[in-house]
Structures are given as structure tokens and as C-alpha cells.
């Protein structure tokens, strides 16, 4: 029977699908070359046929199982489940207001005709509560027909559901914990909080549950936190009592052995920013002491330097990262590697946040002088994503309300609108009449009015009902969505349009490996004097940390802290797909940034996140074409 490390060895080689030297494997698992050789021998003795091929010069690689075709990497950029396919189809019918050709649809989302028919049945059930809507089939096309009010209501409620799927959506992440029910864990925790009459800030709740889920996952495999010393006074706090009660119930429910270190650590997580009073700023690693607070502050400073994003004032992030770094250093000391629970989920859906996590891990590797597992990037990204969400919530659209002096109804109207859109909009002024110059000076993003007005200002104006009916809700929501798109489009057009140059566009590149593609693109940039001779090595080093493929079509190699003389995106359309990490890639966009253009990093990654979520547009973008056609597709 294989041990855990040997199982992970097979998984790693199978996913890599390429040669790895014994030195690389030994460094990954923090063992000796001899141990790797012994593990390979044990793996090959396990079955009827060898699973790993050995080569004196190249190292090791996984062999396909006899009689079994290699499974293609799942295209995470496409809707994979019936639920996501239904939403994809509905949104196209609602937003694009046209018929869908079912044959073309099969090609777009790579499913069979029977799957499409089942999806249509589900959609018909979804629209049953909307009597004015119906799906109509005409030969090979499908359309959504009905009155506009019903469509708007359906559209509004779909969007509300989508907005609720925020960064730390527990229902979406729960399925990634395979050995227990994360939602049940959440329910147990909520019950304990109610018994102690203890409130948790909404923005921190999901992080707490994910921390609890990860702790349970580690406890299941007998990996425990071993604090170096007892925190003075911690056991006298209510947070410690809550943590103890919670883990006692988890222990009884899941039949796990809980140790003191887990209770103390979770108590500190519950405390949030107050945990600094109990968690030491210092921790020992080998023969030296590390200042965790300074390490955390310098890591955030690195983020600001690389991405131009300043998290320095977020005390909740500082507290969470400090506790996480304590655990990370303990894992490094004990050579413990976190399991890959939701790394690809974060990487796929939130590429910028994931890159910030990778950046912090890169910095920590420099400071700790050791290799840190990829999963640490994912967990740090969770902290950064929650902080980004808090930061972005501050950037609300500014609205002016024009309504008559009716204290009862106008107050109710404002209250209802704020209840619906508080996270995205703030009311900066209420007026009983419209005066163009006054509104111009306020410079709002949006005007909401209960009576018709005409003006010459370039400000979106939405007519609303004092009673905030469904049509009002839909109109405001659409206006806010248009403002979001406008904000992004302005940034994208202003900054990204000139970065893709004809001399760095390769419409038919013949390459077999990611390294060949990267070297070709970097050579072109170096020849032009855009980057120096070290840039290529830095890009390859970043690639070795974790592949930069974000969907079964696209890879975006880049470099940390290696700047270009001018910001440029080098593009390669590949003759044949190249296996790039878990995905087969057909389009490569290498991003080289000038030191003064750090804002472009966020804009670029926002665009990547958007394009991989739109499979039809991504498929169009990866089709080989001329430089002019490609830039037109990017700017669409």
C-alpha cells in the first residue's frame, strides 16, 4: 500500500505530464534524492505495470495506465455543470435578445445535444414562476419570449443571485471539502455563537469557516498545530471558550481527536485584530527568530510595490495574515504541505488575487530561504480577496435623488433603495427639484428621479417609483451594471489598447513546450530593447512556481519585479495546442510592465478574469487571425 507522499508523487507527475528530475522532486517533498528513488520503486511495484518512467538524465515522468487514454484537462473556462450551463444560456437569451442556434451552442460549450435538451427542460422549470415568459423553439434555434416586465424581473433576480456569489461564497467552496460537510460545520459554529451571544462581523465570517474547514481537513490526517508556548490569558477569553465548545462538538460529530493548539489558534482567528494581544510577534525558525509582524508588513509593502494595491490600513487583514504566517512557519519547520483544496478554484475565478498570493509566497521564500507549497498561495489569496472585497466596497457609485418633499414616502423610497444597493451605491444628495448647475457641481455617477426631467448633463438618469416596484429595481440595477462596465472599459481602452504591437504578434507560432513559447516571446522583446537578458529567466522562474494557464485556451506568463523599458504584451497564436500545466493552451499573452505602469497589472488581470468567464469570446480570441483582427477582438 502506498503512503501519502507516494500518492502525491504520482499525482504530481501525472499532472505535470513532463520529466521532473529527482532533485526537483526531492525539493518539492523536502526529502532526499534517495527517498525519491525508493518511492518510485515502491510505486512501480504496486501494480502489474510500472507507473513511473525513469531516465538517468531527465529524471521521472508518469506513464499512462495500460488500456486507458489520458484524460484531457477539464476546461474550467466553460460552463461545466447543468446549473452553470443553464445560467449561461439564460443570460445569452436575456442580454443579447436574440435566438440561439443549438448546433452552434453545442460547439461553444462542448456538450452533446441530449445535454442541451436537458438544460432547456431545466430552464423551462426555472421560468415557471414568471407567467409572461416562455421558451420557443423554431427548428434549430431557441428564443425567450414574453413581456418586458417579466424579462426584467427575471434578469434582475438572476443578477441579484450572481452578486450574492461573492469572493468567499461557502456554498460554492463547500464541495471542495470532500470528507465532511462544510455547511454543517458552519451551522454548528453559528449555533455556538448564538449560545454565547457573540457576534462576528459579516466580512470575517466566511474566512472563519474556511479556517475551521482547513483545520478539520488537517486534523483528519493527524496534522496538528503545536504552539511553542501558551498565550498568557488566552484561556480566560470568551473566544477561547467558543473555540473549545465548537471543537468539542466537531470532535463528537466527526469522531476526531482535537488538541489544544487547534483550540487556541481558532480562538485567535475569532478575535481578529485583537489577537495581536495574545499572538507573539516572534517565532523561531531553526537558529533564528523571525518577526512575524514585520514579515507581514514587508510582504504587504511588496504587494504595493508590485501591484500598486495598498492594504496597509486593513487591520483585519493584518491580523489574519499574522496568524496565518504563524501557522505557515510551523508547517515549514515540520515539513508539512497543505493539501490542494481549492487552489484551481481561486486561480481560475480570481486571477489577480491569486497572483498577489503567489507574490507574497515568493517574498516569504526569499526571507525564509526555503520552498513553500503552492497551496499557501491559495490560502493567502483568500485573505487578500476578502480584503479586496472590503476595499472595493468603498468605491461605490455616487447617486443624487430627485423627489418631492414627502417625508414619509421619500424616506421609505431612499431606505428601500439603500437596502437593495448599499454595497454598490451611496446617496450623496436628496433634492426636491432639479437644478442643472447644482447637479453638475455634485458630479454624481447617477441621477434617480421620481418625475420626468430633461437636462444636458452627461449623467445617466433613471426614472424610479416612490414605491420602488420591480421595474424600478431592474432599472437601477441595469444602470449600476452599465456604470461598472463603463468604468472598466474606460480604463481598459485608455491603458491596454496600445500595448499589443504588430512586431510582437506571432500569428502561427510552432512550439512544443511552454518554455519554447516563452523564450521566443522574450527574445523578441529583448531584441527590441524592451527587456534585458535576465527577463526570460525571471519569467521561467515564475512559471516554475505554478503554471500561468488560466483556462483550456489561454496562458499569461509574466515576471515579478522585472520591469520593461515600455509596457508591452507579446502575443502568440500557436499552430498546435501546448500542454501548459493542467490545460492545453492555444493563445499566449506575455505581459512586460514598465515600473511606472503598475496600475495596468490590475487592468490586465481584470480583463483576463472577464474573458475567461465568457467562453464564446475566449474561443473567438484564440482563433488564429491577423494582427488587426486580433486587436479588434480584444477591444470589442
pLDDT of 340 higher than 70:
no
Per-residue model confidence (pLDDT) at position 488: 65
> At 475, is the pLDDT very low, low, confident or very high (cuts 50, 70, 90)?
very high
Identify the pLDDT of residue 535. Answer: 93
The answer for 233, left when phi > 0, alpha when psi is -120 to 50, beta otherwise, is left
Residue 534, pLDDT > 80, answer yes
pLDDT of the residue at 148: 65
Is the pLDDT at 476 greater than 90? The verdict is yes
Mean pLDDT highest for which of 205-209, 364-368, 489-493?
364-368
Q: What is the pLDDT of residue 83?
A: 59
Mean pLDDT of 127-154: 77
Instruction: Give the pLDDT confidence score for residue 520 in this predicted structure.
Output: 95
Contacts of 25 (CB under 8 A, 6+ apart): 9, 12, 36, 59, 60
pLDDT at 461 over 70: yes
pLDDT in tens, 597-636: 676 787 788 888 888 888 888 888 888 888 878 876 886 6
Per-residue pLDDT reduced to its tens digit, 150-184: 676 576 555 444 333 455 666 656 766 778 888 89
Q: If you ran DSSP here, which 8-state letter would residue 116 be given?
A: H
Residue 194 has pLDDT above 90, yes or no: yes
Rg (CA), the chain: 27
Q: Which residue has the cell 490526517?
A: 221
Mean pLDDT of 412-436: 88
- CA–CA separation, 158 vs 87, rounded Å? 8
Q: What angle do CA 25, 28, 34 make, to 5 degrees?
A: 45
Chain-centre distance for alpha carbon 608: 11
HSE toward the beta carbon, residue 417, CA cutoff 13 A: 31
144 CB neighbour count, 10 Å cutoff: 22
The better pLDDT of the pair 112, 490 is held by 112
> Would you state the pLDDT for residue 318?
85
Q: What is the pLDDT of residue 8?
A: 77
DSSP annotation of 49: S
Q: What percent of the chain has pLDDT over 90?
A: 20
The pLDDT score that the predictor gives to residue 110 is 62
pLDDT at 532 over 50: yes
pLDDT of residue 406: 67
The whole-number pLDDT of residue 248 equals 93
More confident residue, 501 or 401: 401
DSSP letter for each residue of 341-364 = SSHHHHHHH-HHHHHHHHHHHHHH
C-alpha cell, 109: 460549450
Helix (H) or strand (E) holding 605: helix 599-612
- The strand pair at 59-62 and 425-431 is best described as unpaired
SS3 content of the chain, % helix, strand, coil (to 5): 55, 15, 30
| CA 164 – CA 172 distance, rounded (Å) | 11
Cβ-contact 377, 422 below 8 angstroms: no
- Mean pLDDT (the chain) is 80
Q: Tell me the HSE value of 46 on the side-chain side, using a 13 A CA sphere.
A: 16
More confident residue, 117 or 131: 117
Compute how many other C-beta atoms are within 10 angstroms of the C-beta atom of residue 432.
Answer: 11
Average pLDDT score over residue span 138-160: 70
Q: What percent of the chain has pLDDT over 70?
A: 80
pLDDT tier for residue 525 given thresholds of 50, 70 and 90: very high
Distance CA 69, CA 470 (A): 53
Q: Kindly report the CA angle at 242 between 228 and 275, in degrees rounded to 5?
A: 45
Can you give the pLDDT at residue 522? 95
- Supply the pLDDT for residue 435: 86
Could you read off the pLDDT of 435-444 as tens digits, one per residue?
888 887 887 8
Q: What is the mean pLDDT of residues 57-83?
A: 57
CB 281 within 8 A of CB 292: yes
**C-alpha to C-alpha distance for 557 and 592, rounded to whole angstroms:** 9
Q: Residue 187's pLDDT is what? A: 92
Average pLDDT rounded to a whole number, residues 1-5: 77
When mean pLDDT is compared across 122-131, 140-149, 352-361, the lowest value belongs to 122-131
Residue 554: which pLDDT band, with cuts at 50, 70 and 90? very high
Alpha carbon distance 320, 380 (integer Å):
9
Average pLDDT over residues 252-273: 85
Q: Which range (133-137, 282-286, 340-344) has the least confidence?
A: 340-344
- What is the model's pLDDT at position 76? 41
186-191 contact pairs (CB < 8 A, 24+): 188/246, 188/249, 188/250, 188/253, 189/246
Band of the pLDDT at 324, cuts 50, 70, 90?
confident
**pLDDT of the residue at 117:** 83
Average pLDDT on 580-596 reads 88
pLDDT of residue 523: 94
The residues that bridge with 447 in the sheet, in sequence order, are 400, 461
**Quick one: which of 512, 517, 527, 507 has its CA closest to 556?**
517
Amino acid at each position: 500500500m502506498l503512503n501519502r507522499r507516494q500518492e502525491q508523487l504520482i499525482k504530481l507527475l501525472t499532472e505535470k505530464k513532463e520529466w521532473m528530475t529527482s532533485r526537483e522532486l526531492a525539493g518539492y517533498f523536502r526529502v532526499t534524492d534517495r527517498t525519491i528513488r525508493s518511492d518510485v520503486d515502491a510505486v512501480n511495484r504496486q501494480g502489474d505495470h510500472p507507473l513511473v518512467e525513469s531516465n538517468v538524465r531527465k529524471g521521472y515522468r508518469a506513464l499512462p495506465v495500460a488500456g486507458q487514454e489520458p484524460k484531457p484537462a477539464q476546461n474550467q473556462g466553460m460552463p461545466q455543470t447543468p446549473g452553470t450551463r443553464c445560467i449561461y444560456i439564460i443570460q445569452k437569451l436575456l442580454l443579447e435578445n436574440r435566438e440561439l442556434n443549438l448546433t452552434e451552442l453545442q460547439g461553444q460549450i462542448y456538450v452533446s445535444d441530449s445535454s442541451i435538451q436537458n438544460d432547456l427542460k431545466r430552464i423551462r422549470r426555472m421560468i415557471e414562476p414568471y407567467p409572461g415568459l416562455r421558451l420557443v423553439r423554431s427548428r434549430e434555434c431557441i428564443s425567450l419570449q414574453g413581456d418586458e416586465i417579466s424579462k426584467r424581473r427575471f434578469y434582475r433576480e438572476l443578477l441579484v443571485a450572481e452578486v450574492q456569489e461573492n469572493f468567499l461564497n461557502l456554498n460554492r467552496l463547500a464541495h471542495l471539502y470532500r470528507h465532511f460537510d462544510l455547511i454543517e460545520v458552519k451551522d454548528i459554529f453559528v449555533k455556538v455563537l448564538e449560545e454565547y451571544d457573540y457576534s462576528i462581523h459579516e466580512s470575517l465570517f466566511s474566512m472563519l469557516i474556511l479556517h475551521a474547514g482547513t483545520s478539520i481537513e488537517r486534523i483528519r490526517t493527524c496534522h496538528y498545530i503545536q504552539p511553542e508556548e501558551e498565550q498568557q490569558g488566552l484561556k480566560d477569553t470568551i473566544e477561547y471558550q467558543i473555540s473549545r465548545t465548537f471543537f468539542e462538538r466537531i470532535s463528537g460529530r466527526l469522531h476526531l481527536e482535537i488538541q489544544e493548539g487547534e483550540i487556541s489558534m481558532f480562538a485567535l482567528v475569532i478575535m481578529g485584530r485583537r489577537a495581536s494581544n495574545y499572538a507573539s510577534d516572534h517565532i523561531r525558525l531553526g537558529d533564528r527568530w523571525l518577526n512575524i509582524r514585520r514579515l507581514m508588513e514587508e510582504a504587504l509593502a511588496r504587494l504595493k510595490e508590485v501591484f500598486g494595491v495598498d492594504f496597509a490600513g486593513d487591520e483585519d487583514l493584518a491580523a489574519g495574515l499574522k496568524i496565518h504566517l504563524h501557522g505557515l512557519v510551523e508547517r515549514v519547520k515540520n515539513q508539512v504541505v497543505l493539501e490542494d483544496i481549492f487552489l484551481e478554484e481561486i486561480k481560475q475565478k480570481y486571477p489577480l488575487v491569486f497572483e498577489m498570493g503567489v507574490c507574497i509566497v515568493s517574498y516569504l521564500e526569499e526571507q525564509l530561504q526555503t520552498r513553500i507549497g503552492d497551496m499557501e498561495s491559495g490560502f493567502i489569496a483568500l485573505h487578500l480577496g476578502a480584503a479586496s472585497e472590503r476595499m472595493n466596497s468603498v468605491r461605490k457609485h455616487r447617486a443624487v435623488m430627485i423627489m418631492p418633499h414627502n417625508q414619509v414616502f421619500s424616506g421609505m423610497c431612499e431606505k428601500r433603495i439603500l437596502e437593495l444597493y448599499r454595497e454598490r451605491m451611496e446617496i450623496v444628495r436628496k433634492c426636491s427639484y432639479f437644478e442643472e448647475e447644482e447637479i453638475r457641481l455634485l458630479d454624481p455617477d447617477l441621477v434617480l428621479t421620481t418625475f420626468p426631467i430633461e437636462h444636458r448633463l452627461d449623467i445617466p438618469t433613471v426614472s424610479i417609483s416612490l414605491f420602488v416596484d420591480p421595474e424600478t429595481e431592474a432599472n437601477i440595477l441595469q444602470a449600476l451594471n452599465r456604470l461598472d462596465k463603463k468604468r472598466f472599459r474606460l480604463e481598459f481602452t485608455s491603458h491596454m489598447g496600445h500595448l499589443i504591437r504588430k512586431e510582437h504578434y506571432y500569428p502561427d507560432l510552432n512550439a512544443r513546450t511552454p518554455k519554447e513559447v516563452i523564450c521566443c516571446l522574450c527574445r523578441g522583446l529583448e531584441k527590441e530593447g524592451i527587456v534585458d537578458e535576465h527577463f526570460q529567466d525571471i519569467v521561467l522562474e515564475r512559471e516554475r512556481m505554478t503554471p500561468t494557464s488560466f483556462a483550456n485556451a489561454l496562458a499569461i506568463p509574466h515576471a515579478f519585479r522585472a520591469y520593461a523599458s515600455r509596457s508591452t504584451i507579446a502575443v502568440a497564436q500557436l499552430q498546435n495546442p501546448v500542454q501548459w500545466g493542467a490545460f492545453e493552451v492555444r493563445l499566449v499573452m506575455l505581459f512586460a510592465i514598465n515600473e511606472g505602469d503598475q496600475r495596468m497589472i490590475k487592468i490586465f488581470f481584470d480583463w483576463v478574469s472577464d474573458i475567461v468567464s465568457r467562453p464564446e469570446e475566449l474561443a473567438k480570441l484564440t482563433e488564429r487571425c491577423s494582427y488587426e483582427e486580433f486587436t479588434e477582438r480584444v477591444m470589442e
